Amino acid sequence: MDAILHGAAVVSEEIVSREPLLIRDGRVAEAQPVRGYSLDLRGHLVFPGLVNAHEHLHVNAVPPLPRQQPFPNSYAWIEAFQAHFRQPEVAAALQLPKALRLRHGALKNLLAGVTCVAHHDPWHAELDAPDFPVALLRGHGWAYALGWDYGPPVQASFDATPAGSPWLIHLAEGTDEVARAELAQLERLGCLDARTVLAHGVGLGEQDIAKVIASGAAVVWCPASNLTLLGRTLDPRRLHAAGRLALGSDSRLSGARDLLEELCVASVVGGLRSTDLLAMATHQGADVLRMPDHGRLSPGAPADLVIVADAGGAPADSLVGLSRVDLRAVARHGMPCIADTDFADWFEAAGVEAVPVLLDGRPKLLARSLADPALLALEPGLQAAAVGAVPRLAQAGVHA
C-alpha cells in the first residue's frame, strides 16, 4: 500500500525531519506517490523499527531458572540449567512445536517495536515462511561458544563465513578467568576480524576491547541478561564510541522481557545518552550485522517503523524508557501490525484485517495474521478481546 505519513517528526540516524514520510510498495520512497493513504500524525514521532542483535527466538516461553547467586560464567549457568530441564513446566514448554515457539519469539519482539532480529541458533524452515513476523539476519556464520559443544565447529564456521557477512559467537560471558581468557583463545584460532560479532563480552578487559575495535569486530550488549546471570555487565562506552556495539535481549531465559525493557536497563547502568542507546538499537546495530537497509528510514529501506507520542525534549527521550504498551503503532513494510484502536482506518486502508486484543490491559488492534490463538496463549499480557469490547477511540491524536 502506498501511504503518506505527515505531521510527525521522523527520526532516522539521529536526524529529525518534518517532511512527510512517503511509502511505496512497502519501502520508503523519495518521490511522493501519485495516490496514497494519508495519515496525519501531528504530535507524534516516527522511528525506524528496532534491531535486536542477539536473540534466541525459540525459548521465550520456557520458564527461567529460579534466581540464584551470580554465576562465574555462562557455562556454570548452562550446567545448572540441566536439572531445570526436568521440571514439568519446562519440559512441557519445550515439547511445543518449534515453529510455534519461533513465531512466539518473533511476536514478542514485534510487540516491542523490533522488526529485525539476529537469531543465534540453528536455522529452521519456519524462519523462511513468507509471513514470518520479523525480518531476520541471513547468510551469516555462527558458532555457539568456545566452551560448549553445540552448534557448528568454531573454526570451520568462521572460515566458511563470507567476507561481507557477520560471524556470531557467545564470548567472554562471565567474570572469571575462563571468561577473561576467551578473546585470546579466539585470536589464536584466527577467528577475530571484521566479521566477528561477540555476544556479551562481560569478561573483556581494556586491552581486549582495544583489540576488538582494532580488528573491526563488534560486541552485542545484553545488560539485563548479564546482570541476571553474572551480576555484572560491560562498560559500553568505548565500543559505542567506535561504532562497534549493538543491543540484544538474549531471551527471557535470562534477559529482559523485550528490547524496550533492555533499553531501560541500559539507560540506568551504561552511562550513555538516550540518543546513543537509540543508535545501538537501530542503525548502529544494523551496521554491526551488515544489514544497512534496516534500522533507518532512508529511501529504499523497508518501511518498518514505530510510532510514539511526542513527549517533548530530545526525540530519543520519547522512546527510550517506554514499555510496549506505550507504543502507538508498529508497522512492517508500511502495513500496521499492532496499534492503538484509533488507527483502525489505517488497517482498513491497508487491507489488513485487525482483531481486538488487550496488551498489558490496554486495548489494541492486532493484525489477524498474528492472532493465532496458540500464539496468543504463549505471550503473557496479550489476549484476545471480545468483538465490541475494545472501543474505537475517534480523533485521539491520529487524523486520517
Q: What is the CATH number of the domain that holds 66?
A: 3.20.20.140
Please name the residue that has the C-alpha cell 557455562.
Answer: 75
Q: What is the pLDDT of residue 387?
A: 67
End-of-domain residue from the set 265, 288, 311: 288
User: Residues 17, 55: one domain?
Assistant: no
23: nearest Cα among 36, 11, 10: 36
User: Residues 214, 355: one domain?
Assistant: no
User: Residues 325, 337: one domain?
Assistant: yes
- Give SS3 for 380: coil
- Alpha helix (H) residue ranges in the chain: 74-84, 88-95, 98-111, 154-159, 177-180, 182-188, 206-215, 223-230, 237-241, 259-269, 274-280, 283-288, 344-350, 373-376
User: Residues 194, 336: one domain?
Assistant: no
> What whole-number percentage of the chain has pLDDT above 90?
92
365's grid cell: 488492534
User: Residues 127, 35: one domain?
Assistant: no
Inside any domain, residue 397: no
User: Residues 174, 240: one domain?
Assistant: yes
> What whole-number percentage of the chain has pLDDT above 70?
96
Q: What is the CATH number of the domain that holds 304?
A: 2.30.40.10
CA distance 55 to 75: 18
**DSSP per-residue string spanning 78-133:** HHHHHHHTTSHHHHHHHHS-HHHHHHHHHHHHHHTTEEEEEE-S---GGGG-TT-S
Contact between 39 and 2 (Cβ < 8 Å): no
**DSSP per-residue string spanning 174-197:** BSSHHHHTHHHHHHHTT--STTEE
Inside any domain, residue 391: no
Q: Give me the amino acid identity at 79.
A: E
Looking at the 3D structure of the chain, how many domains does it have? 2
Write down the pTM of the prediction.
0.96
User: Residues 187, 246: one domain?
Assistant: yes
pLDDT (mean) for 132-139? 98
Q: What is the pLDDT of residue 400?
A: 39
394 has a pLDDT exceeding 70:
no
396 has a pLDDT exceeding 50:
no
End-of-domain residue from the set 266, 288, 310: 288
Range of the domain at 188: 51-288
CA distances from 381 to 240, 322, 325, 375, 384 (A): 33, 16, 10, 12, 10
Contact between 213 and 305 (Cβ < 8 Å): no
Q: Express each pLDDT in 257-288 by its tens digit.
A: 999 999 999 999 999 999 999 999 999 999 99
Inside any domain, residue 200: yes
Which residues on adjacent β-strands are paired with residue 358? 363, 383
Inside any domain, residue 236: yes
Inside any domain, residue 202: yes
- Mean pLDDT estimate for the chain: 95
Inside any domain, residue 396: no
User: Residues 60, 139: one domain?
Assistant: yes
Inside any domain, residue 325: yes
User: Residues 320, 335: one domain?
Assistant: yes
Which residues on adjacent β-strands are paired with residue 38? 4
CA distance 309 to 397: 9
User: Residues 78, 146: one domain?
Assistant: yes
393 has a pLDDT exceeding 70:
no
- Give SS3 for 228: helix
Q: What is the pLDDT of residue 397?
A: 43
pLDDT (mean) for 83-90? 90
Inside any domain, residue 390: no
User: Residues 243, 133: one domain?
Assistant: yes
User: Residues 81, 218: one domain?
Assistant: yes
